């Protein structure tokens, strides 16, 4: 790495940037039946064109992404209309690995091993370990845990899995609980190498008018 890029000065300290987003390419797994990532090259310097030009086609629920309310709530806001304040600010990573899978694969308040200490909480489960391989037995949230976070004044919850609800749940009970609490959702994060602790989250969605989600380049900022 270029030594100029190893850290950025911030108020006299060094900020480490931890990338918690998977690489987006044609091998990235998407929800079964959804549209995988495709990139079409229209012009290329390698073939003699004067510039490179390409287009992409894929689901908006791609890799690390932010769900919009209109994904799970009739009449809900699209992602382009959401406040960016949800997606930037103090954040807590909780490491829930090492235990047995929760009943119905839904995490409850009893599974938390520490108190809530930030308004944005990311849960590390290691239950969806390979972004290129889709496993359907990943862990998700219970509506009870969503309500617990809401009472603790959490405004965003994120997971290292494809969904806050189990794969087979078409009622989207935890999505609905999040809608009722007006919280934000991040899914598809990569937290394997991230220790539990406090960080600053930066995961802005694109301003896609009316879209039900947006990919994000999710990062955690940590001061030395």
Extract the tokens encoding 150. 């809401």
Extract the tokens encoding 160. 């290292």
Which residues on adjacent β-strands are paired with residue 88?
Answer: 202
CA 116, 221, 192, 58 dihedral sign is: positive
Q: Look up 71 and say whether it is catalytic.
A: yes
Which residues on adjacent β-strands are paired with residue 97?
Answer: none
Phi/psi region, residue 63 (left: phi>0; alpha: psi -120 to 50; beta: rest), is: left
Of 50, 57, 65, 71, the catalytic one is 71
Cα separation, 38 vs 27, in Å, equals 10
Extract the tokens encoding 163. 């969904």
Q: Known catalytic residues? A: 71
């Amino acid at each position: 790495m270029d030594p100029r890029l190893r850290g950025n000065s911030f108020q006299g300290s060094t900020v480490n940037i931890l990338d918690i987003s998977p690489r987006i390419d044609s091998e990235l797994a998407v929800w079964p039946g959804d549209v995988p990532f495709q990139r079409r090259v229209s012009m290329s310097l390698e073939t003699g064109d004067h510039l490179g030009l390409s287009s992409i086609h894929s689901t908006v629920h791609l890799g690390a992404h932010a769900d919009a309310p209109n994904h799970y709530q009739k009449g809900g806001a699209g992602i382009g209309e959401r406040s960016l304040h949800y997606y930037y600010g103090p954040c807590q990573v909780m490491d829930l690995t090492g235990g047995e899978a929760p009943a119905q694969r839904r995490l409850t308040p009893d599974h938390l091993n520490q108190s809530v200490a930030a308004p944005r909480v990311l849960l590390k489960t290691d239950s969806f370990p390979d972004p290129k391989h889709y496993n359907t037995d990943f862990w998700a949230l219970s509506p009870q845990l969503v309500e617990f976070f809401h009472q603790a004044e959490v405004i965003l919850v994120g997971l290292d899995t494809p969904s806050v609800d189990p794969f087979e749940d078409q009622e989207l009970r935890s999505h609905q609980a999040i809608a009722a609490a007006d919280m934000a959702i991040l899914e598809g994060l990569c937290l394997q190498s991230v220790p539990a602790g406090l960080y600053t989250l930066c995961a802005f969605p694109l301003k896609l008018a009316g879209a039900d989600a947006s990919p994000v380049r999710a990062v955690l900022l940590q001061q030395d």
